[in-house]
């Protein structure tokens, strides 16, 4: 009996040791998982939710990556800085940011990089000194030109037009507006006048009020260009609510799922966007490559981004993912089911 008792104790000890070893192995394996944080302008925006889905797709494909999707509740640099500081304290491996302010996030970007965290911006950039590289969703010149060309097609290049942007500090918005103005300067648009630019801060209610104010302030207004997925939906709603469908048209950058109603109603003829799922996927893939050391993010180099192919990095360590795609009544039903 004594011998049996000793054998049982040995068996229990071995079992416990095996369980302990397995447990510690599981912890070690979890600890080895690469953590990439995606920091968006604000939570609750459909465009960025789609970016998150793409990031999660990339993380699953890579296998050893955990995507942390986060952001502030307000579209301010101060709120983003608080989020990023918390991620630095958590010692994540990389931070992928869509910046609310190109310059204000430079110090916190530097702080993260000094602690060995790979920092890239996407969609809306941080100034070069605050990140390793920036991923534009498309070519800035093509985006700006496309917005003007879509409005010109609808209005036959004749009438007053206003721009409804996001925040006054949003890097991507400001670059696109400058590119719009360059396109607008062509003789083809001599009869299509830009009357003003206003800012809705990527908030649905404020963007709606700004669109209403534009309609009231400019009784001859024929079009509103909103290069923001929040602003374009709000502007289209303002046009519909004012009973001005067919008199005032809205175009810009938006999500098919959110713009289907505006297109069907006739408030929007055409609009454009790149696939935000692809954008989130591509940004996450690039961040993982930087962590692994298979890419540097330096100008003149390239990085493999899974199904998005090879992304070439140009001046200021900027890269472009793809050209914008146009949506209208012919394809809105199809794409509204996707994103």
Distance CA 197, CA 220 (A): 16
Would residue 5 count as lying in a domain? no
State which residues form the domain around 226.
140-273
Angle of helix 106-114 relative to helix 77-89, nearest 10 degrees, comes to 10
> Which of 20-34, 36-50, 205-219 has the lowest average pLDDT?
20-34
- Same domain, residue pair 150 and 255: yes
- Same domain, residue pair 174 and 91: no
Q: What is the pLDDT of residue 115?
A: 98
- Is the CB of residue 336 less than 8 Å from the CB of residue 151? no
**259-270, pLDDT tens digit by residue?**
999 999 999 999
Nearby residues of 101 by Cβ (< 8 Å), 6 or more positions away = 76, 77, 80, 167, 169, 170, 171
> Which H or E run contains 173?
helix 171-184
Q: Residue 315: which CATH number?
A: 3.40.50.2300
pLDDT beyond 80 at 19: no
Q: What is the pLDDT of residue 101?
A: 96
- Same domain, residue pair 104 and 158: no
Place of tokens 């302030």: 217
Would residue 9 count as lying in a domain? no
Tell me the average pLDDT across 98-127: 97
pLDDT beyond 90 at 104: yes
How many independent structural domains does the chain possess? 2
- Same domain, residue pair 246 and 309: no
The SS3 of residue 323 is coil
Tell me the average pLDDT across 116-135: 97
- Same domain, residue pair 195 and 287: no
Percent of all residues in the chain with a pLDDT value above 70, rounded to a whole number: 91
Q: What is the pLDDT of residue 158?
A: 98
pLDDT beyond 80 at 131: yes
- Same domain, residue pair 223 and 187: yes
**228-260, pLDDT tens digit by residue?**
999 999 999 999 999 999 999 999 999 999 999
- Same domain, residue pair 229 and 256: yes
pLDDT beyond 60 at 11: no
- Same domain, residue pair 241 and 166: yes
Distance CA 147, CA 179 (A): 10
- Same domain, residue pair 218 and 236: yes
**185-206, pLDDT tens digit by residue?**
999 999 999 999 999 999 999 9
> Which of 26-30, 78-82, 170-174, 264-268 has the lowest average pLDDT?
26-30
Distance CA 106, CA 84 (A): 11
Cα-trace Rg, the chain: 24
**52-78, pLDDT tens digit by residue?**
999 999 999 999 999 999 999 999 999
- Is the CB of residue 66 less than 8 Å from the CB of residue 34? yes
Q: In the structure, what pLDDT confidence band is assigned to residue 22 with cuts at 50, 70 and 90?
A: very low
* HEC secondary structure over 260-306: HHHHHHCCCCCEEECCHHHHHHHHHHHHHHHHHCCCCCCCCCEEECH
Would residue 327 count as lying in a domain? no
pLDDT beyond 80 at 12: no
pLDDT beyond 60 at 5: no
DSSP strand E in the chain: where?
34-39, 65-70, 94-97, 118-122, 133-136, 159-165, 192-199, 221-226, 249-252, 271-273, 302-304, 310-312, 318-320, 325-327
Would residue 1 count as lying in a domain? no
Q: What is the pLDDT of residue 338?
A: 86
- Same domain, residue pair 67 and 48: yes
pLDDT beyond 80 at 292: yes
Q: In the structure, what pLDDT confidence band is assigned to residue 323 with cuts at 50, 70 and 90?
A: confident
Distance CA 225, CA 82 (A): 32
- Same domain, residue pair 131 and 256: no
Tell me the average pLDDT across 206-229: 98
Q: In the structure, what pLDDT confidence band is assigned to residue 168 with cuts at 50, 70 and 90?
A: very high
pLDDT beyond 50 at 26: no
- Same domain, residue pair 109 and 155: no
Nearby residues of 5 by Cβ (< 8 Å), 6 or more positions away = none
Q: Please give the mean pLDDT across all residues of the chain.
A: 91
């Amino acid at each position: 009996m004594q011998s049996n008792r000793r054998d049982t104790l040995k068996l229990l000890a071995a079992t416990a040791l095996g369980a302990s070893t397995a447990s510690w192995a599981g912890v070690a394996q979890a600890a080895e998982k690469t953590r990439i944080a995606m920091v968006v302008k604000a939570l609750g925006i459909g465009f960025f939710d789609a970016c998150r889905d793409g990031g999660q797709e990339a993380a699953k494909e890579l296998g050893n990556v955990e995507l942390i999707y986060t952001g502030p509740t307000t579209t301010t640099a101060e709120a983003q800085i608080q989020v990023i500081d918390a991620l630095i304290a958590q010692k994540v491996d990389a931070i992928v940011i869509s910046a609310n302010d190109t310059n204000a996030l430079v110090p916190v970007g530097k702080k993260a990089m000094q602690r060995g965290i790979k920092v890239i911006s996407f969609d809306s950039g941080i100034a070069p000194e605050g990140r390793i590289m920036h991923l534009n969703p498309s070519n800035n010149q093509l985006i700006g030109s496309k917005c003007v060309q879509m409005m010109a097609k609808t209005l036959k290049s004749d009438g007053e037009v206003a721009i409804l942007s996001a925040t006054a500090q949003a890097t991507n918005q400001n670059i696109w507006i400058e590119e719009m103005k360059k396109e607008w300067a062509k003789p083809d648009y001599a009869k299509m006048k830009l009357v003003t630019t206003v800012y809705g801060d990527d908030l649905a209610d404020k963007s709606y009020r700004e669109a209403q104010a534009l309609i009231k302030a400019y009784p001859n207004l024929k079009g509103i260009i909103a290069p923001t997925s929040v602003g374009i939906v709000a502007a289209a709603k303002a046009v519909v609510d004012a009973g001005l469908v067919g008199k005032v048209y809205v175009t810009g950058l938006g999500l098919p799922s959110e713009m289907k109603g505006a297109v069907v109603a006739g408030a929007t003829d055409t609009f454009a966007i790149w696939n935000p799922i692809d954008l989130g996927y591509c940004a996450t893939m690039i961040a993982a490559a930087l962590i692994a050391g298979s890419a540097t993010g330096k100008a003149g180099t390239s990085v493999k981004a899974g199904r998005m192919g090879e992304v070439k990095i140009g001046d200021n360590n900027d890269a472009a993912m793809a050209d914008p795609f146009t949506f209208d009544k012919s394809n809105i039903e199809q794409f509204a089911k996707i994103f």
